[in-house]
Structure 1
């Protein structure tokens, strides 16, 4: 019987350690493995293995190439297999800046099925820090949390991806109970914001039971489909006292220059926005929008399903075909504008008017348009 493995991610180290401690207490025989990456830019990693009451080992490791991928491949997986024979549950305590997706996909390997199985991806969140950190537009290196030499990721970007990929979110009790009113307000605000960012993900608040971790193995492909642009389960429109989520969904192509000019407004007025879109100048390519804390990333994610020959559709994953079917129209196939923006006091009508003004007008030519996106997209047009 394979041993269950739970990943515990989180930018907030104290909150994450609190969750790991609780897992070790509540699962007798559980073992936690943690890699301290503070010196990873020098190729050094400190591995700590512990149970509920004892540090079993602490080892300094020198990696040939200092990066998270090398750490997982060269040390984490061998250690998980080493302890699988003696642990009831294996807890992977991920370093602050590690996004759990890369680790989950490394563990989803046929050769590991008989020994270990991934059963949960938990992200721990500090209720006091999260509302501020999701707005911080600084690089991880500037915050002292790089994951590798030359790490160009942003702090808020990593936090958003940790929250959105998780199968469960945990807000631990890091302050003495009962909480004073101001701290209870932090908890309420944090839960409200998590409901905007990951509305279908269960949230465990202080005093509530943690999710069960003894179930079947999770599929990395299914986890990825929840967040990949073509298949993402994007939030619906909602309004709460602290934030609004606005959804814009259209089936007309965007004028590239007008949409490019609107990018700054969309990114700076919202805290988090994401989705997929299509430009009149690139009718066959699905483009992804991913923005957090004012930092925008636009990416070519490949062809729309409607741009592929029908006899090639069987090569596309089922989740991709299902998502395309939900968006399908007789005129445009699965080509669609689907953007979701979250932030405080967002003006639904103003955002819709701004984006509607970026659409190609009736009779406006779709070709021979200046395309400012050519400067940021290195398109590989091969299907």
Structure 2
């Protein structure tokens, strides 16, 4: 019989600790494992194992390469397997800046599936800090919170991914106004994810989650993107089009598009790259554009059986007789968005009938460099 495992992620340490403590108190025989990465840049990690009343063990773990994946592979998984026979529930208390996806995929992997059963991925959030932290442009290493020596991620980038990947969100701290504002923010960023208080945590000992299905909820080709919504001052708007984008005009518009909202994401296609599904991901003024693989319409039909059912279903919903599943689908969220201006700007970037996109592609240094790497 496999032992249930719940991941508790979150940049907000006090909120995360409160959620872990509540889980330990609610289920006798549960054990929490935490890896303190404060000195990971020196190749040192501190492992702490505790139950609801005391610390069971502490140990310094030295890694050949100071990184999260090394910690998971070399220490976390073996420790969970060792603890599993004597625990009713295993709680992985993730370090502040760790994104849960890689850990979930490791725990849900075939090598430990008979022993460990991933049942929930929770992200704990401080209601007083959440709205402001989503607008912060600092890198984690500038704040002394990196998860590896080479960590170049931004705080807002990590926080948004922790929110959007989770199967449940835990809101803690702040006052009543903070709580209400944070709930409105989460309604826009993760509208389908349940939000709980520490006193009302969900059941976390159910059937196993499939990491592939968790990934499909956030991957560009299959992501469950938010819909149009307005909640007091917060606005989410969806922009869609079937026409290709002119790379030069879109590139010139990027700065305004990114600064117009707090969070934006989605998929798009350029006239110069009709075969590539491109992913747009921006938060707190930082934007990433990446090649997310081919559009289904760009693949031979013999290859369609090789992609997931969710990918085929998403393509079918977007299918057009002329363009196949190629679509512009971008979602922007922020306070008091000028929706008309945003849509007009994006519309102006579309290729006009009979227009040639030319040969210059300002996105080439970004996209082609990543392909080579």
TM-score interval for Structure 1 and Structure 2 normalised by the shorter chain: over 0.9
CA distance in 1 between counterparts of 2:335 and 2:279 reads 23
CA distance in 1 between counterparts of 2:112 and 2:106 reads 10
CA distance in 1 between counterparts of 2:179 and 2:300 reads 51
Corresponding residue SS for 1:378: helix
Q: TM-score, normalised by structure 2?
A: 0.98
Find the counterpart in structure 2 of residue 370 from structure 1: 360
- Residues 305/232 of structure 1: CA separation in 2 closer, same or farther (3 Å cut): same
Corresponding residue SS for 1:290: strand
Find the counterpart in structure 2 of residue 184 from structure 1: 176
Corresponding residue SS for 1:48: strand
CA distance in 1 between counterparts of 2:198 and 2:5 reads 23
Query: Contact 2:18/2:198 (CA < 8 Å) preserved in 1?
Result: no
Residues 229-282 of structure 1, C-alpha deviation per residue, up to 9 Å, x if partnerless? 000000001001131001001100000010111111111110000000000011
Query: Contact 2:315/2:325 (CA < 8 Å) preserved in 1?
Result: yes
Structure 1 gaps of 5+ residues are 176-182
Find the counterpart in structure 2 of residue 197 from structure 1: 189
Find the counterpart in structure 1 of residue 229 from structure 2: 238
Query: Contact 1:189/1:242 (CA < 8 Å) preserved in 2?
Result: no
Residues 320-365 of structure 1, C-alpha deviation per residue, up to 9 Å, x if partnerless? 1111111100010000000000000001111111100100011112
CA distance in 2 between counterparts of 1:167 and 1:242 reads 26
Residues 262-318 of structure 1, C-alpha deviation per residue, up to 9 Å, x if partnerless? 111111110000000000011111100000000000001111110111111111111
1:27 is the counterpart of 2:22: no
Find the counterpart in structure 2 of residue 327 from structure 1: 318
CA distance in 1 between counterparts of 2:125 and 2:52 reads 21
Find the counterpart in structure 2 of residue 249 from structure 1: 240
Shift of 1:111: 2.4
Structure 2 gaps of 5+ residues are none
1:168-183 correspondence runs (5 A): 168-172=168-172, 174=173, 183=175
1:80 is the counterpart of 2:70: no
Let me know the Cα RMSD of the aligned residues. Answer: 1.2
Shift of 1:57: 0.5
Shift of 1:143: 1.1
1:348-367 correspondence runs (5 A): 348-366=339-357
CA distance in 2 between counterparts of 1:261 and 1:289 reads 15
1:271 is the counterpart of 2:250: no
CA distance in 2 between counterparts of 1:121 and 1:206 reads 15
Find the counterpart in structure 2 of residue 180 from structure 1: none
Corresponding residue SS for 1:101: helix
Q: TM-score, normalised by structure 1?
A: 0.95
